[in-house]
Amino acid sequence: MRWPLALVVLVGSGCTCLFNPDRVGLPCDPVVPPPLDIVAGEGTSLTFEWPRDPARDDITEYELCWGATSCRKVQPRTCDAGQCATRVDGPDAGFRYNERVEARVTMKNQCGDVSAPSTASATPLNGTFIDTQGIEVISRCDAGIRVLSPGELTFDQNAFLCVSTAMMGDEQWRDATIDLEVRIAQGDALGGIGVRAVRDGGDTAPRNGVIVTASPNGSASAYLTRRVALNATDGTDVIAATAVPFVRGNDWEAMRVSVAGEWFSVELGDDTLSRREVMRWRDRSTPRPGRVGVALGTIFGGGRIDVRNLRVRTSASIPDGGSDRDLFTFSGANPLRGIRPVGNGVTPAACPPFTGPAPDAGCLEVTMNGTATVEAPIGLDYNKPWRVRFKYGAELAANGPSILRTTVVAPTPAGLNGFSGFSLIDAAGVNWALPLRAFEDNANGLGTLTPGTWNVFEVAFAPGSNDYTISRNGMVARSGKQPPGLSQHLGALQLGGGAQRGYFADVEILQDP
C-alpha cells in the first residue's frame, strides 16, 4: 500500500521524473552558454566562433542566430579541435559594410535543456581589399587609398608631420584583436593599425594608432599614438609608447594589436609564427569605443604603405607578466641587443680609462649627433615605481649634449614635440661648462660634469605621486615632481644626442621590488 500511495503523491505534486522516458538514465548537467566571438574582415561576410567542450558528450546542438529572425543549427560533430566556426555569407544574409550585426548562440543538451544566449556584435569590414568599398579616409594632408594589386590596399600621402587613417566599421568597436600585414613601401612612412577612432569632433576627435617604420632615422621603430586636443578646434597625434623591433623595408610584416579595456598589446614579426609582443601600454583615460582601420604617418615628407589580410576579432586578451628588468652591457656575441642605433655615431667600444667607478663590461660610444634607443623590458609596469641606472663619461668637446631622453611626447605636444621626446638629463651650452639639468629645467641643476670621469646616474620614478629622484654617484642630486603633461609611460629610452663623444655602460632598467 505504501508504493501506490507514494506514486499518487508524486503525480499530485507535478513531478515528471518517473514519466519522462527521454530523461531516464541521462546525465543532465547544467548548460552554460559558450562565449561567442565574431571575426570580421572577409568582405560583408562574418565568421562566428565559440568553443566546444570535448568532455560534454551530452550536448546535441548549438543554435546560432543573428538579426531578428535568422538562425542556423550547428551539430557538435562538425566542430573541429574543440572549436565551432560558422561562416555566414554576407550577400545572402543581407549584411552590409559598417552596419552592426547582433548575434547570439545557445546550446542544448540531450535532456532538452537550452542555455541562456551568449551574445556578440560586429560590423562587416573590408579586409580583403579587392576594392575600397566601406573604407573612409580621414586626413588633413591629402592622403589617398587605391587597389593596385587585388588583395592589397595602397595608402600614401605627401606631408610633413601627419597621421591619416582609412577607417571602417561603426563607432561601437570596443575590445578587439586586430591582425594585419603591412609593408613599408616608400619613404619614411609609418604604417599599421588605427583603432578607437571617433568620427565626430574633427581634428580633436580621439583615436589611437599603432604604426611601425623601416626608416633608420627615428628614435624608435614602433609607435603607439594618441590624438590630443590642442585647443577647441585643433588636435595632434602624439607618441604615447615606443619600442625598437627590427622592421624590414619593402617587405611584409605581421602585426597584431589587442585592445582590452585600458590595455593595448602590440605584436610584430616577419610572419604570424614569428610574432612577439614588443609593446604594452595602459590608457589611463576612460576607454571608449570607436572605428578600426589602417593608419599611415609621415614625419619628414611623403611615404607609402601597402596592407593586406585585415581581420578583426571581437574578443581580446592581454599577455600578463614578462621580464620587468634588463641589463645592457654592450658586450658578448650581440653587444647591440635591444639597442636601436640612430645615426652613424653609435658603436660598441672598449671603455676609456676615465677616473671613477669603472664599468663592469663593455661600453657604447655615442659621438656627434648619434643616439642609441634602449628597449624597455616588456613586463615593466610604468604605473608602479621603476628606475633606470647607468654609468656615463664624456670627453670635453660638446654642444648642447643630451644624456638620457624619453621617446614619447613632451609636456607641450605641439609640432615636433609630439614626435621627438623629452630630455631627462642634459646640459645647455658647450663643453660641459654649465650644470647638468633635470627635465630641461635650468633651475633643477645636477652639478657640472667633469670630462674624463665616470659618473653613476640613477633616475627613480614614483608614478603614483608623480615624483622623481635623480642620484649621482650614490648621492641624491635632485628630487621633485615630473613636469605636468609628461606621460608616466616614457617608452624606450634614448642615450646621447647633441654634439658630444660620450660613453655609456652597465645600463639597467628595472621595476622596484
Q: What is the pLDDT of residues 182-208, one digit of tens each?
A: 999 877 899 999 999 998 877 788 899
- Asked if 183 and 323 count as a contact pair (C-beta separation under 8 A), the reply is no
Residues 255-275 have a mean pLDDT of 96
Calpha distance 448→366 (Å, rounded):
20
Among residues 402, 395, 390, 391, the alpha carbon closest in space to that of 454 is found at 391
Q: Hey, which residues does 293 pair with through a beta bridge?
A: 167, 194
Lowest mean pLDDT among 111-115, 133-137, 484-488: 484-488
- Asked if 1 and 8 count as a contact pair (C-beta separation under 8 A), the reply is no
As given in the structure block, the three cell numbers for residue 422 are 623629452
For residue 22, pLDDT over 60 is answered with no
∠231-234-237 over CA atoms, to 5°? 110
CB within 8 Å of 407: residues ≥ 6 apart: 219, 220, 239, 242, 373, 421, 490, 491, 492, 493, 494
**What's the count of helices (H) and strands (E) in the chain, helices before strands?**
3, 36
- What pLDDT was estimated at residue 230? 73
Q: What is the DSSP letter of 137?
A: E
3-state helix, strand, coil in the chain (%, to 5): 5, 50, 45
- What pLDDT was estimated at residue 9? 40
- What pLDDT was estimated at residue 19? 45
Q: Give the CA diameter of the chain.
A: 112
Residues 368-384 have a mean pLDDT of 93
- What pLDDT was estimated at residue 355? 97
480: left (phi over 0), alpha (psi -120 to 50) or beta: left
Strand pairing category for 208-212 and 339-342:
unpaired
As given in the structure block, the three cell numbers for residue 168 are 571602417
For residue 416, pLDDT over 50 is answered with no
For residue 26, pLDDT over 70 is answered with no
pLDDT tens digits for range 67-90 = 988 999 999 999 987 899 999 999
- Asked if 128 and 151 count as a contact pair (C-beta separation under 8 A), the reply is yes
Lowest mean pLDDT among 91-100, 116-125, 281-290, 360-369: 281-290
Helix/strand/coil for 5 = helix
Among residues 118, 119, 114, the alpha carbon closest in space to that of 30 is found at 114
As given in the structure block, the three cell numbers for residue 199 are 568620427
Q: What is the DSSP letter of 15?
A: -
Residues 78-107 have a mean pLDDT of 94
Long-range contacts of 463-468 (CB under 8 A, 24+ apart): 463/382, 463/383, 463/384, 463/385, 463/488, 464/383, 464/384, 464/385, 468/438, 468/439
Between residues 421 and 432, which one has the greater pLDDT?
A: 432
Question: Cβ–Cβ contacts within 10 Å for residue 415, how many?
Answer: 11
Half-sphere exposure of 48 toward its Cβ, with a 13 Å CA cutoff? 27
Amino acid at 19: F
For residue 319, pLDDT over 60 is answered with yes
- What pLDDT was estimated at residue 16? 44
CB within 8 Å of 72: residues ≥ 6 apart: 63, 64, 65, 86, 88
∠117-119-123 over CA atoms, to 5°? 150
Percent share of the chain, pLDDT over 90: 72
As given in the structure block, the three cell numbers for residue 427 are 646640459
Residues 113-118 have a mean pLDDT of 96
Residues 57-69 have a mean pLDDT of 93
- What pLDDT was estimated at residue 15? 44
pLDDT tens digits for range 144-188 = 999 999 999 999 998 888 889 999 999 999 999 999 999 998 778
Among residues 207, 43, 205, 209, the alpha carbon closest in space to that of 123 is found at 43
Edge-to-edge strand ranges of the sheet holding 101-109: 70-74, 59-66, 101-109, 118-122
Distance from first CA to last CA of the chain, Å, rounded?
76
As given in the structure block, the three cell numbers for residue 340 are 636601436
Between residues 90 and 418, which one has the greater pLDDT?
A: 90
Half-sphere exposure of 480 toward its Cβ, with a 13 Å CA cutoff? 14
Mean residue pLDDT across the chain: 90
